[in-house]
Amino acid sequence: MVKRVCIMCGNRVDEKRLMRSSKSKIHNAIFLSTLQKYASMEQDLMEICFVVFQTKTKYVCISHIVDAVQHLLAEVVANGGRVSKTAENTSYLNEAEISARIPNCLNEAIKTFSDDIKVSVGDVNRYVNTYLTKYSSHFTLNFHETDYVREDEQPEHAEILMEETKPVSEDNNHSMDTASQSFIKLEELESPVETSNNFFSPSETQASTSDDTWQRAKTDPALLDKYYLVSGRKLLELSGLRCGNHENNTSGEDVWLEESGSTPIIYCTTSGPKSETKCWEGEDRLGPGTQERDEDELSGALETSCYFVVNEEQQREFRYA
């Protein structure tokens, strides 16, 4: 397995999960400005990458490309556009669906690292369709089944609390069902996914989520459709599976999502002979000097937590645990 360094995140990953940077200034400008505008990537990093991309081909994680495209598609839908599908079930975007507001926002970000580039609706359309076609297997889009509501038009009534969560199917158990997050195929992971002991098989996942109890309790409705490293909706659903387990006899109303700054926090109240409040933030609390942790210990930390924080370093452990 050959590993190379991604210039964007600095991680050394399997070269099969990397692509070479584009030679197109327009594509690079759209890519970097999208991540800066919608994914809060640092301006200094975008400036450096743009200069480097023009002089030398570098490796970039495919997940960054997928993330940028899905952010753009989410904006298209939020502004009233639609994503279409071909007869082969491949997603594509018609230029007429793209609001002029999107390239305008990108151009504002582009000004921070280039003075001579301005992108149009057509440029955005070509960029999106190029990578939708090239990396079609990496996308999990639910735009075709969902009517999205703009953030400033979110209804503030009880009905949204009862909105159905789409269950995880066995055919799609390797992906995150979100509109703006990438996923890594399970067969590409370096360690297998466990489906025994404290981990859940796809069939258990589908059965556990059928009553849709995770998102109804104390969660602010606006957070359900907000995107973190995973969507708030999926984060809450998966958290319910791990915190609301049968051994702890936790009801669905004891798992909810809140936010501290830009950090998603899952609260999980466990029940038992003695009420406890514990915090898990990616550490297993095994004592000072402890460097290693195995999957059983990680699972135990998840299942005894009262709340935990998912950040970039912890997210892969959470997603594939």
How far apart CA 226 and CA 221 sit, in angstroms, is 9
Residue 133 confidence (pLDDT): 81
Question: Across-strand partners of 265?
Answer: 258, 309
Assess contact for 176 and 140: CB atoms under 8 A.
yes
Q: What is the pLDDT of residue 190?
A: 37
pLDDT means over runs of 10, the chain (321 residues): 85 87 91 90 87 87 88 88 74 87 94 91 92 71 39 38 36 36 34 33 36 53 62 58 41 59 61 42 35 39 36 34 26
Q: What is the pLDDT of residue 88?
A: 64
Helix or strand holding residue 85 (H, E): strand 84-85
Helix spans in 4-61 (H): 25-38, 43-55
Which pLDDT does position 92 carry in this prediction?
79
Euclidean distance between CA atoms 197 and 200, whole angstroms: 8
> Quick one: pLDDT at residue 3?
86
The span from the CA of 248 to the CA of 232, in Å, is 23
In this prediction, residue 231 carries a pLDDT of 58
Residue 63's nearest CA partner among 146, 131, 142 is: 131
Q: Cα–chain-centroid distance for residue 209?
A: 19
CB atoms closer than 10 angstroms to residue 184: 21
Q: Give the pLDDT score at 39.
A: 84
**pLDDT reported for residue 66:** 86
